[in-house]
Structure 1
Amino acid sequence: MAQRSRDNESHYAQRIVTTSQTAPVAVITVTYSPGRHLRAFLDSLPGATTRGVHVVLADNGSTDGVPEKAASTSDSVEYLPTGGNLGYGTGMNVGARHLRPARDAGDIDAQYLLLSNPDVVFGEGSVDAMIACMERHPDAAAVGPRIVEPDGTIYPSARAVPTLRNGIGHALFGQIWPSNPWTRSYQDNADMGSERAAGWLSGSCLLVRWDAFDAVGGFDERYFMYMEDVDLGDRFTRAGFRNIYCPSAEITHAKGHVAGKHADAMLPAHHESAYRFQADRLPHWWQAPLRGLIRGGLKARSAIAVARARTNRKDLHV
């Protein structure tokens, strides 16, 4: 695995010192008829940072009128239609490309970019805490907060990159035997109270370093939804960066408000993304039989998950 050189670490440390502290932090959220969640998201941002924010609503085809209304009532909120339902990662990339001229002109913070779902509510000082965490780790490409779910539980948002073994074990047994060793390895959630490195961080809220995000090409746009954050964290690591979990920053997340309404589309997309992630890491011709087995198993699991969702009308998460 590539290691970042001391010269590059010094370069990043110097950028921390010289970056303007007055320019607002750029925030991108991908909207798709976010409803009441967006207002709570926007209202929580002023208390999350003393630096100010500029928010881009990368809209993937909302029909509720909420993103347009939010942008029309605030100079710090910008409505950006993406042209269709492009998926989460592509929507984030569209927002980032849109913001680069403002970054280069110094109108927004040139170092940090905050990527978040619109159903997140930021805790007091949480964005500043993530920035402080990033500054403690000059080789970090991404920092993620502690994520509290509506029922008060801590979401396992800092995980190991799934391997073939723990991915298959989790897929087979995660729903029927939650404490199985493969799921425990997959979730890597034994320590959610300490600041630490992780294989990947939840894309529901992620502070990234602009330079690192650009260095790896942003999100892989082949992922429509799900696993794009796993892939991004893995590519950060392969490029010599680290992903840092920062529990001193806390948010709440109304997880799955879109997926729950569109389970018939979202659950197959999740399983297709899981296949893409593993297939990309099994590229050789002689691995084709294994890729076929993975695809077949995930298609079967997807069909079962969709059937359960139709019966229960509950969002299922892996």
Structure 2
Amino acid sequence: MVKLSVVIVNYNVCYFLEQTLLSVRRAVEKLAQPVEVFVVDNNSVDGSVAMVQARFPEVQLIANRDNPGFSKANNQALRRATGQYRLLLNPDTVVEEDTFRACCDFMDAHPDCGGLGVKMLDGQGQFLPESKRALPTPEVAFYKMFGLARLMPKSRTFGRYHLGYLSPEDTHEVEVLSGAFMMLRQTALNQIGLLDEDYFMYGEDIDLSHRLRQGGWKNYYFPGTRIIHYKGESTKRTSVNYVFVFYRAMVIFARKHFAPGRAGLFSLLINAAIWLRAGAAVLERLAVRVAPLLLDAGLIWAGMYVLKSYWENNHKFVPGDYPPQYMTVAVPAYILVWLTSAYLSGAYDPPVKTSRVVRGVFLGTLLISAASNFLDAWRFSKALIILGGAWAVAAIVGRHLLAHFIKYRDLRLSEHRQKTIAIVGSGPESRRVRHLLEAAGVQARVIGHVSVAPKPADTLVPPAAIPLPVPPPKSRWASCGSWPISSASTRSMN
């Protein structure tokens, strides 16, 4: 009898999928009981299907010719699965070698467990709070969507969404599990049904968790094993599209499970949150783009004020102050021309180059000087225009230098920074990775590799000791887009 069926739905994350399947392969070896693995590909265009066929022949592959959504794709595999337990696993995760064994043992010991989630960490090793959640009732959703849950994460009232008052180091009965890793009991699925296909993406895990509890089963958060979840690889969570898709799924859930009055209140809150979050996402992206320009504008305006005061007191041909409109109208117009010209000249494109800043501001200065010849009422001082242009260059370059120094502790603006990498894997796989990095022109310094072969201690081998191989025939390699696949991993040191 098959103990476990693993179901992975993939969409254009070929590299992450390969790492997931490699970790699954190791975890299957530790379980010592029959396991079947399904990959459902939703019409990826990055070579995912070819990679799975070439590198993982043990996987049962379902290659869709369209994208039917997450729920439908999972159900395709669940209907074919035969395992006592069914695991829904994201393609951007990495499981520990004993994850399957530990989870199956837990479910064997807890016959009331219908669904099981584990401790999830992000790519930096930080605990992901969505590992354990409460049901998003109107009250819980309100606290989450309007920031109270973030302000008071450990409050039993305001922090219920992520159950922040429960220790992530202890096992707990919870209401909602994450679809990134959700182990399900087949007898429970037979009773409550599969995933609701009204959900295209997001919300289906909340719906399934709730139906498990309605059916008399319990959901558990189990920290006895951990996984890495590189969350949001298919959909960036700061995008407007994510905001709309996620919160619309919440509306579907409310209409399905709440009484009409509560569903109406929930829908009202959700729609308010959609527009607030969508607006915030747009403003955030705009602020990231505009903030450097605004900062430079402020620096230039301050410098122009100092230059004006100095020029009035020491060099102005006709003694007296410039009219107020010089600083309130003329100087802002100068700044707009300088920054626009600098922006169009690539002064804000990485890597930052001083020559682009100089070229842009110089062209802007010429334009300002030429325009002032035709506007007698706004002709103040050619000298201040030239000095202002020089200050604009100094302000923009200086601000870039300061930011660069704070981040890198040096002043080499245009230098392409190399990453320092150690490769973890077997000898042949490490050589493959080094070859791929060189073939792709990746700027990286490989300091060596850590062998995974059984030894008294892992050894850091200098790169000189690992000769680069001759590129193998292309027929031996599966490809994720333009990147050949490797089962060795790399670790950046900076």
Which secondary structure does the structure 2 equivalent of 1:85 belong to? coil
Q: Which residue of 1 aligns with 2:25?
A: 46
Which whole-Å CA distance do the structure 2 matches of 1:231 and 1:246 have between them? 20
Q: Which residue of 2 aligns with 1:290?
A: 265
Which secondary structure does the structure 1 equivalent of 2:86 belong to? strand
Identity %: 27
Shift of 1:52: 4.9
Q: Which residue of 1 aligns with 2:139?
A: 165
Alignment RMSD, CA only? 2.4
- How many residues align? The count is 282
Shift of 1:246: 1.3
Which whole-Å CA distance do the structure 1 matches of 2:284 and 2:215 have between them? 38
Q: Residue 127 of structure 1 is aligned with which of 100, 103, 120?
A: 100
Shift of 1:304: 2.1
Q: Which residue of 2 aligns with 1:246?
A: 222
Moved more, 79-88 or 58-67: 79-88
Which whole-Å CA distance do the structure 2 matches of 1:42 and 1:309 have between them? 36
Q: Residue 62 of structure 1 is aligned with which of 24, 39, 44?
A: 44
- Aligned AA (2:151): W
- Aligned AA (1:216): I
Which whole-Å CA distance do the structure 1 matches of 2:284 and 2:72 have between them? 26
1:27 is the counterpart of 2:1: no
Which secondary structure does the structure 2 equivalent of 1:186 belong to? coil
1:307 is the counterpart of 2:317: no
- Aligned AA (2:12): S
Which whole-Å CA distance do the structure 1 matches of 2:163 and 2:153 have between them? 12
Which secondary structure does the structure 2 equivalent of 1:202 belong to? coil
Q: Which residue of 1 aligns with 2:55?
A: 73
Which secondary structure does the structure 2 equivalent of 1:161 belong to? coil
Q: Residues 196-229 of structure 1: CA distance to partner in whole angstroms, max 9, x if unpaired?
A: 2110111101111112123211111111111211
- Aligned AA (1:257): E
Shift of 1:112: 0.9
Which whole-Å CA distance do the structure 1 matches of 2:123 and 2:114 have between them? 28
- Aligned AA (2:36): H
Shift of 1:42: 0.8
Which whole-Å CA distance do the structure 2 matches of 1:96 and 1:175 have between them? 35
Q: Which residue of 2 aligns with 1:94?
A: 76
Which whole-Å CA distance do the structure 1 matches of 2:71 and 2:247 have between them? 16
Which whole-Å CA distance do the structure 2 matches of 1:171 and 1:212 have between them? 32
CA spacing shift, 1:188–1:40, aligned 2, 3 Å: same
Q: Which residue of 2 aligns with 1:177?
A: 151
Moved more, 208-217 or 172-181: 172-181
Q: Which residue of 1 aligns with 2:381?
A: none
Which secondary structure does the structure 1 equivalent of 2:37 belong to? strand
Q: Which residue of 2 aligns with 1:37?
A: 16
**Greater length-normalized contact order (CA 8 Å, ≥ 6 residues apart):** 1
Q: Residues 3-53 of structure 1: CA distance to partner in whole angstroms, max 9, x if unpaired?
A: xxxxxxxxxxxxxxxxx3xx3632110100112111111111132233353
Which whole-Å CA distance do the structure 2 matches of 1:235 and 1:193 have between them? 26
Q: Residue 119 of structure 2 is aligned with which of 139, 143, 146?
A: 146
8 Å Cα contact 1:25-1:52 kept in structure 2? yes
8 Å Cα contact 1:31-1:67 kept in structure 2? no
Which whole-Å CA distance do the structure 1 matches of 2:133 and 2:233 have between them? 22
In structure 2, stretches of 5+ residues that fail to align are: 290-494
Q: Which residue of 1 aligns with 2:491?
A: none
Q: Which residue of 1 aligns with 2:86?
A: 113
Which secondary structure does the structure 1 equivalent of 2:114 belong to? strand
CA spacing shift, 1:178–1:305, aligned 2, 3 Å: farther
Q: Which residue of 2 aligns with 1:14?
A: none
Which whole-Å CA distance do the structure 1 matches of 2:227 and 2:100 have between them? 9
Which whole-Å CA distance do the structure 1 matches of 2:265 and 2:215 have between them? 27
Which whole-Å CA distance do the structure 2 matches of 1:92 and 1:57 have between them? 9
8 Å Cα contact 1:161-1:199 kept in structure 2? yes
Q: Which residue of 2 aligns with 1:16?
A: none
- Aligned AA (2:144): H
Which secondary structure does the structure 1 equivalent of 2:269 belong to? helix
8 Å Cα contact 1:145-1:246 kept in structure 2? yes
Q: Residue 195 of structure 1 is aligned with which of 154, 159, 171?
A: 171
CA spacing shift, 1:213–1:271, aligned 2, 3 Å: same
Shift of 1:281: 3.0
Shift of 1:56: 1.3
Shift of 1:288: 7.0
Q: Residues 250-288 of structure 1: CA distance to partner in whole angstroms, max 9, x if unpaired?
A: 11111111112893432210010122222323343x557
Which whole-Å CA distance do the structure 2 matches of 1:309 and 1:274 have between them? 23
Which secondary structure does the structure 1 equivalent of 2:168 belong to? coil
1:263 is the counterpart of 2:239: yes
In structure 1, stretches of 5+ residues that fail to align are: 1-19, 104-108, 314-318
- Aligned AA (2:227): I
Which whole-Å CA distance do the structure 1 matches of 2:158 and 2:32 have between them? 39
Q: Residues 142-178 of structure 1: CA distance to partner in whole angstroms, max 9, x if unpaired?
A: 1111111112111121122122111111101158736
Which whole-Å CA distance do the structure 2 matches of 1:209 and 1:162 have between them? 23
TM-score by length of 1: 0.81
Which whole-Å CA distance do the structure 2 matches of 1:176 and 1:208 have between them? 30
Q: Which residue of 1 aligns with 2:109?
A: 136
CA spacing shift, 1:93–1:289, aligned 2, 3 Å: closer
CA spacing shift, 1:72–1:24, aligned 2, 3 Å: farther
1:205 is the counterpart of 2:178: no
Which has the larger Rg?
Answer: 2
